[in-house]
Amino acid sequence: MTPTKRAFLASTVALAAALGLGHAHAQTALDGVMKNKLIKIAVPTDFPPYGFVGIDLKPQGLDVDTANLIAAKLGVKVELVPVTSANRIPYLQTKKADLVISTLGKNPEREKVIDFTAAYSPFFQAVYGPKGSALADFNGLGGKSVAVTRGAIEDQELSKVVPANTDIKRFEDNNATVSAFVSGQTQFIATGVSVADNMIKRNPALGAEYKLLLKDSPNFIGVAKGEDALRTKVNEIIVAAKKAGELDAMAKKWLGRPAGTLPE
């Protein structure tokens, strides 16, 4: 065999091995879950009604129910991993979680670093403020202060549409963001509808109301890049749960409305 042929053969074998390893990696997460009979799922604990700690000190909410549903359909136990908006994607990338079910919106920036399943629940973000404050469009926020959770999708969307002189005050979690608005540290708040509804119910004297829509953003489940087998399996569970009415039932329980039509 000539040196050229030997080099060609060696490169072909190396390429085949690399492809084989790539395929094996794509199966790593699902194989590990099924072997250990355990799936680690990141969920919020400060984001009612999607994820919060109940009076029994246990996590509950729509995202928690979804995590339990997926584990049950896989036939494995679930370990719920509490996360915030800022650390949920890093937890997935560093394998501290197999899935992220934490009101995660899909956008091009996130798709560069993680993969997504089909959507499992509805969600939208908006700006809220006092009933007496007139706010016809985003230009009206010029010179005004707005509370927002750092790294959340409403933080990204708000930055795109407000005037440069808007005072965006960023906080590390939703509780701190809400507290800032309720205590009068900011004039407005940009947040998800669930957080806003909970805030309004808890503080009726505040007189806060919906002002401007930031973005319609259904929730997707986050999966680490390359874990195609796990993503495909979770998609199968979501499709079946949608057909069986389970997604609608969970949405009605926690959001007061069915999940409706969701993107795949």
Number of other residues whose CB lies within 10 A of the CB of residue 99: 29
3-state SS assignment for residue 167: strand
For the stretch 24-71, pLDDT in tens is 444 589 999 999 999 999 999 988 889 999 889 999 999 999 999 999
182-191 pLDDT, tens digit per residue, is 999 999 999 9
Q: Which two tokens stand for residue 19?
A: 């492809």
Write the pLDDT tens digit of every residue in 127-170: 999 998 889 999 999 999 999 999 998 999 999 999 999 999 99
Cα–Cα distance, 15 to 12 (Å, whole number): 5
- Residues pairing with 188 in the sheet: 146
**C-alpha span between 23 and 112 (Å, rounded):** 20
What pTM value is reported for the model?
A: 0.69
pLDDT digit string, tens, across residues 78-104: 999 999 989 999 999 999 999 999 999
Find tokens 């997604």 and name the residue: 247
When pLDDT is averaged across residues 6-32 and rounded to a whole number, the result is 53
Exposure class string for 224-233: b at 16+ Cβ within 10 A, else e: bebbbbbbeb
DSSP letter, residue 134 = -
